Structure 1
């Protein structure tokens, strides 16, 4: 699963491309609690994997490492929504969940080290989300039904042509695209998932790379899909700009992400199923639309998404991610005792997450 690291840490990283606050030298603090020292540098927290504790104040987040471990790295918080530099805790039970005091965007902060993220995305990650890598279960058809709905939205603006799926996973969107007459390309940094997708959809070109590494020709794709991926990017604004450059003028972006402003999220509070550390940003429709416009895209729609579920998928997610012990236990019991035909049965589409439908301006010039 080391391939995933390239997704979050592109080889072209530099302080200027990481976040605005890395461009400044933070004031040094020589003393702290016993056994700790602070030595702020220009290195960003996102590249540091040695931190052992995090201390926060209202003006900045300083990452502390034990003095015997060597120099520490520090980085101010920088909101991708408004550029704000202050954040506050949201729930005491989730100390890593922060909220920008300027625009209200929630995020995971400090962001996990690359080793922690790499450990999350193994084969069990897909099984925990309801996939069966050996005997393709009822979940992939449900995913393809969802992909059919989303590609149908794009086809209202462009006819079948070249399709790029960013974060193609096990190839559900690729399979739906081939069936609808698209010439499909998928980029997926996870070697296990990319290999599975290539075997499952032999008509597709599957590239095991990150979005930053992808060498696709600019301005050549009619549609780019990015389903449940943008919340995993460390710099989602830069990734949207990269996607805009890959689209041809008039091309369409279809993106989905969990909706932190939904009624479900507000009711569940800290137990919302999407609060976990591999999700780095938690968007609402206002901030997501702002990011897209800032990247140079025309926003056609930013509204509630509709998702096709199976009972088995929902129980797998609740069994792993629910913050309620009783719910986790009930989900595990359902997975164990309910017959297979119940678990794989497709349910009617339900409102879940955000849908962003955006277009590259038709008159924009394509630069090589």
Structure 2
């Protein structure tokens, strides 16, 4: 858990609140990252570390409910952390030992996603954006793809290279990452960027004309998100854009992409990993020890609170 002494005062509003009486941003300087509307309303007061660092942007971070200020677009409903637009530096310095410790279950997850990709493109050149330590790239190679990745974290990039995996340090667009690719994947990436339309357009620039793009992202319109409110596990400091089905479709259309498949993805975790996350909602003094053998039990989990889409370039 993050040291509470590092946090500034936080005021959390009710889930899906009325926008009446809340602050509206200065229209001259703020706009929606999806539809470009200037009608932005504050719906959640944030609390961020005074000395924010890459540690706060770990993939496995479990400080649920901690975000920057969240604003909602009055035009399309997209939610975004408008003040966090220069986040790349945190991903560059981010280290996450727990991520590598979950490599086995993430490999199973990658293979599940690859089976969906293979319905549309059974083989070819594949690019994984936000490749981490190369887990998806490694599994794609085993499945017969000519796969590579791009990753901004220096630490995770180094781990991928130690395994001999072709992962390039950086982000798109990148001079050393050139298409055309038959498949481009972004698994839990698009919610981390302040320019989702531009990122998706950059995918189109490296995607073959008949290629496909797979994107997975949390769904703010899901039942779980509504029930949990601001304590939903996808409200995290690293998540700065929050999609529902309609804003995801709008984002893809704005980027010149057509959705050809949409479903709810299944993730894979050890029981100990899940138990640790669930216990974040329990006071520290009430948390029981987690049995060691939970590390050896893996299970699939689909809470129907994420979207998985496959897209093609618009004709």
Structure 1 position 329, deviation (Å): 5.9
When normalised by structure 2's length, the TM-score is 0.78
With CA pairs under 8 Å and 6+ residues apart, which has the higher RCO, 1 or 2?
2
Deviations 1:300-338 (A, max 9, x none): 12332222222233344456xx5x453x666xx45xx33
Q: How does 1:33-112 map to 2 (within 5 A)?
A: 57-60=23-26, 76-92=29-45, 96-111=69-84
- Alignment correspondent of 2:210: 250
Contact 2:218 2:307 in 1 (8 A): yes
SS in structure 2 at match of 1:309: strand
Q: Of 161, 174, 179, which residue of structure 2 is paired with 1:198?
A: 161
Distance (whole Å) between structure 2 residues aligned to residue 160 and residue 119 of structure 1: 30
1:345 and 2:297 matched: yes
Deviation at 1:176, TM superposition (A): 1.0
Following TM superposition, the consecutive aligned residue runs of length 4 or more in structure 1 with deviations greater than 3 angstroms are: 91-95, 112-115, 315-319
Equivalence for 2:65: none
When residues 264 and 108 of structure 1 are mapped into structure 2, their CA distance, relative to the original with a 3 A threshold, is same
Query: Residue in 2 aligned with 1:188?
Result: 151
> What residue is the counterpart of 1:217 in the other structure?
178
- Is 1:173 the equivalent of 2:136? yes
Unaligned 5+ segments in structure 1 are: 1-55, 62-74
CA contact (8 A) 1:285 1:303 kept: no
Give TM-score scaled by structure 1 length. 0.67
Inter-partner Cα distance in structure 2 for 1:120 and 1:241: 22
CA RMSD between the two structures: 2.6
The number of residue pairs the alignment matches comes to 273
Residue 294, structure 1, aligned to residue 247, structure 2? no
Shift of 1:91: 3.5
The structure 1 residue matched to 2:113, chosen from 144, 150, 175, is 150
In 2: Cα distance, 1:178 partner to 1:252 partner? 17
Deviations 1:134-159 (A, max 9, x none): xxx4x212111111111111111112
Q: Does the 8 A contact of 2:33 with 2:194 survive in 1?
A: no
How far apart in 2 are the matches of 1:105 and 1:345? 37
> 5 Å matches for 1:233-272?
233-272=193-232
Which has the larger displacement, 345-354 or 171-180? 345-354
Larger of the two Rg values belongs to structure:
1
Unmatched 5+ stretches in structure 2: 1-21, 48-67
